[in-house]
Amino acid sequence: MDISSLGEFGLIRRLTENISLKNASSVKGVGDDAAVLKYNKKEVLITTDLLLEGIHFDLTYVPLKHLGYKSAVVNFSDIYAMNGTPKQITVSLGISNRFSVENLEDFYEGLKLACEVYGVDIVGGDTSASLTGLCISITCIGEVEKSKVTYRTGAKDTDLICVSGDLGAAYMGLQLLEREKTVFKGESDFTPDFTGKEYLLERQLKPEARKDIAQFLAEKEIVPTSMIDVSDGLSSELLHICYESKVGCRIYEERIPIDYQTAVMAEQFNMNLTTAALNGGEDYELLFTVPLALHEQITEMKGVSVIGHICKQSLGSALITRDGNEIALQAQGWNSLS
C-alpha cells in the first residue's frame, strides 16, 4: 500500500492504533501535541539516538523488523548505562517514497516487540517524508532512584573495571554481512551461508540491552562508581570514563571476553582479534567500575568479567598485552564524523 494514500495522520493512526500503555508513568501517549508522563519520586533520564540509512544501517541486509528492534534497544542500553529503567520512547521517522505502508508496519513490529520485551511504552513521535534515505530518531525516557544514578564521572583509583558479555561479535557480524553483500552483487540466486556464524549475525542484527545486569546490580545493592554502554568500542568507552573521572586505567588483553565464533571469524578475515574487541563497537554491553572491596561479589556475577583496574590519571590508560607489554589505549572506535 502506498503511504500517500493514508497521509501523515492516517499512517500514524495505522501504525499506533494497537498501542496500549503499560507503565504507571505513562499518562497520555500518541495523539496530542505532547505526551504526558508522571515521575513522582524518581529522576527522569532522557537519551536520544539518530540512525541514518547508509551511515548506521544498510537495508540491503538489515530486515526492517530487526532495524525497528535494534533502534529501540540501543536507546534502552543508554538508560541501563545510567543504572536506570527505560519506560517510554518517542519515534520519529523520515521516510523516502520507496517505502510502503507494509514496510513501516514491519519496522513497527520490531519496535513493538522490543518495547514488549523491555516493558517500554511508545508515547509519541513524528512522521515525515524524506527526500533520500530512511531517517530514524528515537528518544527514550527512563527512571532511576536518585541514590542510584551512575555517571561516567565516579571511577576511583584501584576500582575494578568490569564488562558484561563478550566483545567484538557485532563487529564481526557486520564484516560478514558486508563480505556476503560484495559476493552477492550480480548473482540473483545467491544464498549466503551463515552456518556456525549465527551468534555474530544476531549480535549485529538483533542486539539486546543488558537489563539483566542492571537487575543483578540492584538485587546485590551494588551501585557502580561509573558506568557506560559499549556502543563505539571498549577502548573508546573506557577513555570516556577515564576522561570524565580524571583517572587512568590498566586492562589485560587476556581478560577481554571474546566468543569463539568471533575468534574464528577474525582468523578467517586475518584480523587482529584484540583490535576487533577493543574497537569494534555495537556490543551494547555494560562497562562499569566498582570498588575493589566488591571483588568477590562481582566475580560471582554470571556473565561479567573483571578486565582490569582504575589507576591514577598520571599513569595514563593502557592495555597490558599477553606478553606483558603496555600499549596506550586509543579511541579508534566507530566515529561517523572522522
Chain residues 182-241 in contact with a copy of itself, contact rule CB under 8 A? 227-229
The single residue among 20, 34, 195, 270 that binds a copy of itself, judged by CB under 8 A, is 34
How far is it, in rounded angstroms, from Cα 140 to Cα 142?
A: 7
Element (H, E) at 116: helix 101-118
Among 156, 173, 282, 307, CA closest to 229: 282
The single residue among 19, 21, 44, 271 that binds a copy of itself, judged by CB under 8 A, is 44
String of contacts with a copy of itself for each residue 83-102, x by CB under 8 A: -x---x-x-xxxx-------
- Is the CB of 47 or the CB of 262 nearer to a copy of itself? 47
Count the residues of the shown chain that bind a copy of itself, applying the rule CB under 8 A.
76
Smallest distance from the beta carbon of 158 to a copy of itself, in angstroms?
Answer: 23
- Is the CB of 79 or the CB of 201 nearer to a copy of itself? 79
- Is the CB of 20 or the CB of 40 nearer to a copy of itself? 40
Residue type, 1: M
332 interacts with a copy of itself by CB under 8 A: no
Site for a copy of itself in 266-295 (CB under 8 A): none
The single residue among 65, 72, 78, 166 that binds a copy of itself, judged by CB under 8 A, is 78
39 interacts with a copy of itself by CB under 8 A: yes
Site for a copy of itself in 137-156 (CB under 8 A): 137, 139-142, 144, 146, 149, 151-153
String of contacts with a copy of itself for each residue 120-139, x by CB under 8 A: ---xxxxxxxxxxx-x-x-x
User: Which residues fall within 8 angstroms of residue 159, CB to CB, at 6 or more apart?
Assistant: 225, 226, 289, 290, 291, 292, 309, 310
Smallest distance from the beta carbon of 31 to a copy of itself, in angstroms?
Answer: 7
Smallest distance from the beta carbon of 40 to a copy of itself, in angstroms?
Answer: 7
328 interacts with a copy of itself by CB under 8 A: no
Q: Are 283 and 239 in contact (CB under 8 A)?
A: no
Beta strands in 112-198 (DSSP E): 121-129, 135-144, 160-164
Question: How many CA atoms, within 13 angstroms, populate the side-chain half-sphere of residue 115?
Answer: 27
- Is the CB of 252 or the CB of 313 nearer to a copy of itself? 313
How far is it, in rounded angstroms, from Cα 297 to Cα 186?
A: 55
Buried/exposed 55-76: b ≥16 CB within 10 Å, e otherwise: ebbeeebbebbbbbbbbbbbbb
Residue 137, judged by CB atoms within 10 A of its CB (0-12, 13-18, 19+), counts as middle
162 interacts with a copy of itself by CB under 8 A: no
How far is it, in rounded angstroms, from Cα 234 to Cα 24?
A: 36
SS3 95: strand
- CA-CA-CA-CA torsion sign (277, 278, 281, 284): positive
User: Cell numbers of 243, please?
Assistant: 576522561
Smallest distance from the beta carbon of 263 to a copy of itself, in angstroms?
Answer: 29
Region of 50-58, 189-197, 266-274, 299-307 interacting with a copy of itself (CB under 8 A): 50-58
Region of 54-62, 155-163, 175-183, 318-326 interacting with a copy of itself (CB under 8 A): 54-62
Smallest distance from the beta carbon of 124 to a copy of itself, in angstroms?
Answer: 6
